[in-house]
Amino acid sequence: MLIDKKIRDDIIKPWGNVEDFYNKVCAIINYDGKPYRMNDYETYGNFTYTHFPTAYDFRKIKSKLFHIYNRDWTNAEIIQLVEKMRPSEYDVFTYHTWV
């Protein structure tokens, strides 16, 4: 996804600066004390889709999901996934940690 800096600035503007925006988002998503992670593409994408619906074109992509439970991915595991997926017919793959 390409990020338009003007739209990015519109997201941050009501909060004053990047640090205040980030801290507010973290306070919201970490409401129960668990260390959730913010996804910048989803935040940007949802904002843009709502406020600038004609800014981007959409197309279906072929994607593959990988996941593990209750731990972070190691660098070796990530490198292995990249090498595994590089010759595949998929447009994108994602790897998630589920707690």
pLDDT in tens, 82-91: 999 999 999 9
List all residues 6 or more positions away from 12 whose beta carbon is below 8 Å from its beta carbon: 18, 21
Q: How far apart are CA 93 and CA 85, in angstroms?
A: 8
Give the pLDDT of residue 32: 75
40 and 16 together in one domain: yes
Give the pLDDT of residue 65: 93
Q: How far apart are CA 22 and CA 11, in angstroms?
A: 11
56 domain residue, yes or no: no
The reported pTM is 0.54
Q: Does residue 1 have a pLDDT over 70?
A: no
DSSP 15: G
- Domain, as residue range, for 44: 5-51
57 domain residue, yes or no: no
23 domain residue, yes or no: yes
**Interhelix angle for 18-29 vs 5-12, to 10°?**
70
Each residue's pLDDT tens digit, 8-62: 999 999 989 989 988 888 888 877 777 777 777 788 888 999 999 998 888 899 9
68 domain residue, yes or no: yes
